[in-house]
Structure 1
């Protein structure tokens, strides 16, 4: 049975590569990356050496491999293993946390694992960049808490900041805005932006923006504009992108929405 690998580079700041793979027999020789490696195991059991120390991986863990530290990897059981990996640029996390990652590369944290699962799902859709940025910033925050052994919940109640972000999203509904751009304009940390907005309005910024774009598309459709043109004018990547979100929110396609 051959190995199966799917890899791509999403247009999301901080993410260098996404890799989904199944290896029925492959064993990694010792090597290094110049990126932070976040791995979740979906099938099998893996053992690996990191900086001359042995570790094991089961599918309830998140494995964090720091840049420039040698590691290898091989399956423990017949049948191999399946994994999903996100490679982060080296400056996404402080390099002085490399030692902590070497000491504790396996994190048993259901919240972190679920956030990574959700990020992988979003990245596989290819066009939900604001959602991916929002999810990534919460992952980076939690990783930092693990590696510095601080778990105090940050303050999230900030109505004024939430309202200003909503105004910014309303002003740039079709054009869109990255989380980094919003954070720069509002002089706030990206993670605090996401938390403050979600706390105040009951949904994250990316979901609010998508809803506003669907509303905009509805108006254009009712004006008689064709769905293909509406998709781009309302801020969607293409008509299939519009169709997916339109169906999710309204239960019908854009064409059915305006059908006599």
Structure 2
């Protein structure tokens, strides 16, 4: 089998869309990680299996998967031939935090209309000069997502105590660039180091060091999309040096920061790289 790692990534000038990411992988497997934004995923070839909130999920034909922010997940091919996917990373202006719970409960939506609209949005985002169309199609996608998730919204539960897990997550977010040792964290949070690690992992389904590394990789991706060189990005995202960034970036994203950056288009140009073309159903009327 030929090993493929084809990636195209860019940030369009469309409010609400943090990143567009197209990829074709045959062997890459994503480790457990988190994002601080929504992950809207469609698979064009093959299938992906993933764990979200300690439950296994998959992407059968015509499924649209919506993975919420701050909820750990992984991912790998469900077939020996690999998978080809298109991903939109959307900020919380498109879906606010109220929808995280419903998305955790049912992230995979078998909805042909939504699938077609997401495909049409990808096609518009891939073309220069079609910003108004892309904004219009994003509005339709957001409307459809909210209509699917809203019936499962429940009344807000009483706010419980934050607990050491939440306190540690806030501390990790504050110290994202400079880091924090477990001993220092335990003193600041007032909990034994072992209890701190166990409580965080039990609460969020991911170890503290995995959480921090995933957040740093997200930051590195944004900086690379801004056109900053990998060596500069390494320091700006909290890594010891470029080799440290490269090792973790390749493990999580599937390619090196240099190759990722080389697929970022120059200002004013359309996206470049291995970009799946729109399918017939993507070109159908909305």
Which TM bucket (shorter chain)?
A: 0.5 to 0.7
Q: Which residue of 2 aligns with 1:195?
A: none
Q: Which residue of 2 aligns with 1:88?
A: 90
Q: Which residue of 2 aligns with 1:68?
A: 70
Q: Which residue of 2 aligns with 1:42?
A: 44
Structure-1 separation of matches of 2:126 and 2:21: 10
Structure-2 separation of matches of 1:90 and 1:70: 17
Alpha-carbon shift at residue 94 of structure 1 (Å): 1.7
TM-score computed with the length of structure 2 as normaliser = 0.52
Q: Which has the higher contact order (CA 8 A, sep 6+)?
A: 2
Runs of 4+ in structure 1 deviating by more than 6 angstroms, as ranges, are: none
How many residues are matched?
Answer: 152
**Counterpart pick for 2:142 among 130, 135, 140:** 140
* Rg comparison, structure with higher value: 1
For residue 121 of structure 2, give the secondary structure of its aligned residue in structure 1: helix
Q: Which residue of 1 aligns with 2:57?
A: 55
Q: Which residue of 2 aligns with 1:129?
A: 131
Alpha-carbon shift at residue 59 of structure 1 (Å): 2.9
Alpha-carbon shift at residue 79 of structure 1 (Å): 1.5
1:117 pairs with 2:135: no
Alpha-carbon shift at residue 91 of structure 1 (Å): 2.8
1:22 pairs with 2:24: yes
Alpha-carbon shift at residue 58 of structure 1 (Å): 1.5
Alpha-carbon shift at residue 2 of structure 1 (Å): 3.1
Alpha-carbon shift at residue 148 of structure 1 (Å): 1.0
Structure-2 separation of matches of 1:42 and 1:126: 23
Structure-2 separation of matches of 1:74 and 1:106: 16
Structure 2 unaligned regions, length at least 5: 153-267, 270-286
Going by fraction, where is helix more abundant, 1 or 2?
Answer: 1
Q: Which residue of 2 aligns with 1:107?
A: 109
Q: Which residue of 2 aligns with 1:97?
A: 99
For residue 122 of structure 2, give the secondary structure of its aligned residue in structure 1: helix
Q: Which residue of 2 aligns with 1:177?
A: none
TM-score computed with the length of structure 1 as normaliser = 0.57
Alpha-carbon shift at residue 24 of structure 1 (Å): 0.6
For residue 36 of structure 2, give the secondary structure of its aligned residue in structure 1: coil
Structure 1 unaligned regions, length at least 5: 151-236, 239-260
**Per-residue CA distance 1:195-236 (angstroms, 9 max, x = gap):** xxxxxxxxxxxxxxxxxxxxxxxxxxxxxxxxxxxxxxxxxx
Cα contact 1:10–1:126 (8 A) shared by 2: no
Q: Which residue of 1 aligns with 2:14?
A: 12
